[in-house]
Amino acid sequence: MKYFFYTLVLFLIPQVLISQNVLEIHWKTWTELEKAVEKEPKPVFVYFNAEWCVYCKKLDREVFTKQAVIKKMNSDYYAVKMNAESLDTIVFDGVTFTNKQAITKRNGIHELPLLLASREGVEFTLPATLIFNRDFVIKQKVFSYYTSKQLLKMLK
């Protein structure tokens, strides 16, 4: 029994220590973003994705898990991650946004990504990333996969 206890402790302590060092991006909801920007303006990073989007999954797995990206995002930006097909009602800046397309389309796109990440003459595509300055003016739009190195350059 004594050896079992020591073995258990030997395996559990490193796991606890390792798990405490894992950082994640502090993704905000639109409501949290609105409150945070009012309190302390910062640039904003918005990432629209969907469950079926292969490149979105690759970004989640290979880019948003890199420690340099996480540190930069958490220290210098407010980050919002939103499923573009969300059925949630979102109130932002006093305006209510819904997914009206969900009534008539199988994979309807929510009004908020349609408003912010649409391009003239091009059907809405994912992944869609927007970088806003401190005044909430769009600085850059990206409609493709990017590496962590490319993202860090965009965030400078």
CB 37 within 8 A of CB 93: no
Rg of the chain taking only CA atoms, in angstroms: 19
Q: What is the pLDDT of residues 102-114, one digit of tens each?
A: 999 989 999 999 9
CA 88 to chain centre: 16
**Which parts of the chain register pLDDT below 50?**
8, 16-17, 19-20
In one-letter notation, the amino acid at residue 57 is K
Sort strands 128-132 and 44-49 into parallel, antiparallel or unpaired.
antiparallel
* All domains in the chain, ordered by first residue: 24-154 (3.40.30.10)
Structure tokens at 107: 């994979």
pTM of the full predicted structure? 0.84
Tokens standing for residue 104: 């008539």
